A and B are shown apart, each in its own frame.
Chain A
Amino acid sequence: MSQTVAMIVNGRPVSVTADDPQMPLLYALRNDLGLTGPHYGCGLAQCGACTVHVEGEAVRSCSLPLAAAAGKRITTLEGLGTPERPHPVQAAFIAEQAVQCGYCTNGMIMEAAAFLAKNPRPTEAQVRQALAGNICRCGTHPRVVAAVLRAATRG
C-alpha cells in the first residue's frame, strides 16, 4: 500500500508518497525531491556515497527505509551549505582540491561534518578512523584528511 511520509528536508517540510514505504530514503531524495547530492554506490551501507544527516547523525540513506525517516529532520549535501555560505568542510574540500570524480565526495563531506560536530579538534588518526567506512577509488584520501583537519582548525 502506498504511504505518504512527511519529513523536514534541508529545513523545509516535505512529503513523499511511495508505493512501498520500505523504499530506501535515497530514492525519495534523488527522484522525488530532486536532491542528487547523495549518490547510490552500493545499496549495502558499505561505501558511504549516499550519506545524509538524520537528526544530525550521519546515516546511509541507501539502507534507511523511507518510513523510518517519517517526522525526521534530514540534511543533504545541498542543505549543508551553499557557495555563498559554505559549511567549513565544504570550503575546506575546495581549498584542498580534495575531489577527483567526486562520486564519493558527498559521503566524505557528510560523514566528516557529522564527525566534527562531535569532535571539533580531532587528530589525524581520528579523522582517518572516522572515515574508515567511506570508500574512495580515485585516491583522494590524503587531500580529504587534509580538508577535514583544515575545517577542524577553521570551523
Chain B
Amino acid sequence: MDGMIERRGFLKAAAAGGGMLVAFALGGAPRGARAWAEKPVATDEVDSFLAIDGEGRVTVYSGKVDLGTGVRTGLAQIAAEELDVPLARVAVVEGDTALTPDQGPTYGSLSIQNGGVQLRQAAATARQALLREAAQRLGVPAEGLRIEEGVVIAPDGRRASYGELVGGKAFRLKLDANAPIKPPEARRIVGRAVPRLDIPDKVFGTFRYVHDFRLPGMLHGRPVRPPALGATALAVDEASVRGIPGVVRVVHQGAFVGVVAETEWAAIRAAGELRVRWSDWAGLPEQARLWEHVRATPVAQRQVTSERGDPAAAIAAAPRKLSATYDFPIHTHGSMGPSCAVAEFRDGRLTVWSASQATHNLRKQLALMLGMPVEQVRCIYMEGSGCYGRNGHEDAAADAALLARAVGRPVRVQWMRADEHGWDPKGPPTLVDLRAGLDAEGRVVGWESEAFIPKGAGGNVDLAAAELAGLPRESQINPGNIIHNLATPYAFPAVRTVCHRLETTPFRPSWIRTPGRMQNTYANEAFLDELAAAAGADPIEYRLRYLPADDRRGREVLERVARLAGWQTRPSPQRERGGEVLRGRGVSYCKYELTRTYVAAVAEVEVNRRTGEIRVTRFLCTHDCGQIINPDGVKAQVEGNVIHTLSRTLKEELTFDRRAVTSLDWASYPVIGFPEVPEIVVELIDRPNERPWGAGEPTAAVVPSAVSNAVFDATGVRLRSVPFTPAKFRAAAAERGA
C-alpha cells in the first residue's frame, strides 16, 4: 500500500515500551539498548503517534504523560474516536524517549490542548489513509466507505479490517492539518465520562508505579543529603556502615553522598547511620524576615506585562486611593510518594525509568551531567505519585544514575520523606504590591501592580545531584512561566503591571500547580474585592462592569456561578455581627493566561472570630475549557484543584532555619484532611464545537482569593498573607481593631 511499508522492529518497540514493560523487565532481556531508535518520534509524522498491529490493536505514543490526572484515558478516547475503534483496543505508551514524540513537558495544562490535539490530527490523518487504502483494495470510491470498530465496510458489505490494511506496517505520512476531525454529532467516545483505564489496577494493588519497578541484579540506593543546603562533605567515614549487612558502596563526590546496598532496608539504615563531616553553611535568609529579603534581592529584569494609559497620574489625581500587598509563601510539592527512579548502565548506555514529567528534557540533563552523548541515554516514563509540577523525580533519577555508574549495576533510588520535603525544588515566595484609584462614583481610574518573583521561565530545573557533585548543569533557575495573569482580564482605563524578576530566590525554585497564575490571580482578585467594597458595590456586579462586553464566555462563568451559589447581590462585608462564628461568601474569576480556560468560583466560609479558625463549608465552581473530552475527568481535576489549593491556602508553608528546610514531615508541614474538605459543586460548560483547553490547573487560580474574599465578607477582616491560619486571622483582626 502506498505510504505503508514493512518496518521490522516497529512492533517490538511498541511491545517494549507499552503494557509489556513489566514483563520485559522481569524477563530481564537486555533489549533497552536495541530499542533505542526503532521508530519515528518526529512530531510531524503519523508513525510518531500511532501504530496499528495485525489484530487491529492501536498503540498511541504520547510525549505527554499521565501524572495521575487521568489524561491517559482522555488521549485513548481521542485516538479511539478519530479511528473508530473500541476504546479497549487502544493502548498508550507514554514518555519514552526512544518511542514517543517530544511534545514538551507535561505541564501548563497542555496535555489535551496541545498533546491531544496533535494526536487527534495524527489519528485523523491515519483514518484518511486507511480509507484510501481500503478504497483501492475494494475497488470503490472512498466516499462510500464507512468504518465500524476498526473495520472499513463498502456499500456492498465487503469489509477490510485495519489489521489487514496496515497491520504491522508504518504509515509513513506527515500529519495532515486538513484531515477532517469528526464533527460533534458523530462523536461516540469523546465527550463521555468514560471510566479511567488505570483505576481497577490501582484499586486491586496490581498497578505498577515506578516505585514498584525492579530489574534483575538491581541494588538499592539512598542519597545522604547535607544538613545545610550549601554544605559540602569534608570526610565520609565508610567504616561507620561496614557493620550493616548488605552494604555495597558509599559514594562521595563533593557534596553528593550516597549509599548502595543489596536490600532497601540496608540502604535506608546505611543512609541513616553513615557518619559524614559536613562543612558549615548558613546562607538562607531568616524566615521571619523573608519578605524583607525578597524586596532586597537584586532585580535581573523588569517585565511590563500590560500597560494602558497613565495609571500613576490617574491614581495620583483620584479622590480615593487604595494600596495593598499580598504575599504567598514557599511551598513544597508534597507528593505522597517520595521521588523514585531506577538507572541501569549497559554497553555504555544509560536507561532511566522515572516518573519525570519531561523525560525528553531529563535525558538531556542526565547526558550533560554525565558527559554522555544524548543518544546514549534513554528515559522511560513510569507513573509515580502525583507530582503537581517539577518535584524530585528528576533528581532521584540523577541520584540513581550517579550511584549506578559508581557500582556498575542497576540501582533503584527512592527518597525518604525528609528528602522529599527537604530537597524537592520549591514554589518560590511571591510578593505583589497593588495600587488603585477610584473616582467619586467608585469607578476604577487606574490600576498598578508590581510582583517580586524570581527570574526564569518554564525551562529545566537543575538536577540536585549535579549541583551537589559539582558536575555540569545548565546553572539556571526556572520557576515556571510565573508572569501570567498579573495582567488582569478587566478593562480598566489605565493599567500598568510589572514583574520584578529577581536574580535569586532562597530555594531552588520550580513550578507547583498553577505557578504564578494562582499567586497573581490571588492578589488581583482579592484587591479587586477591596475596590468593590470601597465602592460599595456587589463583587460580581463590579467584576462584570469591567469585563469586556464581547468576552461572553467570561461573563457566562461569572453569571452562572452566581446562580449556582444562590448569590445575593449586595456589597461586602455582610452586616450580621452576632455570635462567635460568622458566615460569608467570596467570588473569584480567572481567564487562564488571559487566553484560555475560564473559571469562576464562590467560596462559602465560617469564621470563628475568637479563635480565628476558618472553615470552608462549600466551594462552587463554573468551568469552561472548551470542548470536554471526558467530563468526569475534568470534574475530578476541578475538585482536585480546589482541595489541593485550599490546603495550600489555609495550611501550607515551608519552614526553614538559616541552614535548611525544617518542615520535613506531615506534622511540621500540615495539609488539609478529610474533616476539613468542603462540599464541592462543579458546573462544567461543554463547548463541543470549540477547541479543547486545559483543565489541570486553572481552577487553582481562583481558590485563595475566593477564600480571602469570603473571610472579608464574613468578618470585614482582609487576609493578605497565605496561609490563612488562625494566628494570621487574629493578627489581621487585631490590626483592624475588629
The chain A residues found within 8 Å of chain B, CB to CB, are 2, 18-20, 23-24, 27, 30-31, 35-44, 46-47, 49, 76-78, 80-83, 86, 90, 93-94, 97, 99-106, 109, 125, 127-129, 131-145
Contact = CB atoms under 8 A, between A and B. Distances in A.
Interface of B: 67-70, 195-196, 198-200, 202-209, 211-212, 244-246, 263-266, 269, 334-338, 383-386, 388, 414, 416-417, 632, 636, 639-644, 647, 665-667, 671, 673-675, 677, 679-680
Nearest to B420: A42
A19 B266 contact: yes
B545 to A, nearest CB: 33
Contacts of B70: 100
B417 A42 contact: yes
A38 B384 CA distance: 14
B618 to A, nearest CB: 12
Contact of A37 (B68, B205, B632, B644): B205
A30 B246 CA distance: 18
A93 B199 contact: yes
A103 B639 contact: no
A134 to B, nearest CB: 7
A147 to B, nearest CB: 10
A104 B336 CA distance: 7
A90 B265 contact: no
B214 to A, nearest CB: 8
Contact of B674 (A24, A42, A132): A132
B243 to A, nearest CB: 11
Contacts of B211: 36, 39-40
B560 to A, nearest CB: 21
A5 to B, nearest CB: 13
Given A78-B205, A101-B386, A138-B386, 4 more contacts: A20-B266, A93-B203, A134-B674, A137-B334
8 contacts: A35-B205, A36-B205, A76-B205, A78-B204, A83-B204, A100-B69, A137-B644, A141-B677
A71 B205 CA distance: 24
A77 B204 contact: yes
B671 A81 contact: no
Given A109-B203, A140-B640, A44 B665 contact: yes
A147 B355 CA distance: 28
B139 to A, nearest CB: 46
A128 B383 contact: no
Contacts of B204: 37, 77-78, 81-83, 86, 90
A109 B642 CA distance: 23
Contacts of A41: 336-338, 417
Contacts of B673: 132-133, 135
Contact of A101 (B206, B383, B643, B666): B383
Given A100-B70, A138-B386, A145-B674, A44 B666 contact: yes
Given A49-B336, A132-B673, A101 B385 contact: yes
Main secondary structure of the interface of A (DSSP, over half): loop
Given A93-B203, A97-B196, A135-B666, A141 B385 contact: no
A20 B674 contact: no
B203 A94 contact: yes
B206 A78 contact: yes
B674 A131 contact: yes
Nearest to B266: A19
Contacts of B643: 139, 141-142
Contacts of A37: 204-206
Contacts of B212: 30, 36
Nearest to A95: B195
B205 A143 contact: no
A105 B202 contact: yes
A46 to B, nearest CB: 4
Contacts of B68: 100-103, 138
A97 to B, nearest CB: 6
A137 B671 contact: yes
B671 A135 contact: yes
A125 to B, nearest CB: 8
Contacts of A36: 205, 208-209, 211-212
A94 B205 CA distance: 13
A2 B68 CA distance: 39
A97 B69 CA distance: 12
Contacts of A90: 203-204
A34 B332 CA distance: 31
Contacts of B67: 101
A2 B204 CA distance: 32
Contact of B388 (A19, A99, A133, A137): A137
Contact of B199 (A49, A94, A136): A94
Given A46-B667, A99-B196, A137 B674 contact: no
A150 B245 CA distance: 48
Interface centre among B204, B385, B647, B674 (most CB of A within 10 A): B674
Nearest to B337: A103
Given A18-B265, A131-B674, A99 B202 contact: yes
Nearest to A23: B265
Interface centre among A38, A42, A44, A82 (most CB of B within 10 A): A42
B264 A103 contact: no
Closest 8 CB pairs of A and B: A101-B68, A37-B205, A139-B643, A102-B202, A101-B386, A139-B640, A77-B205, A103-B385
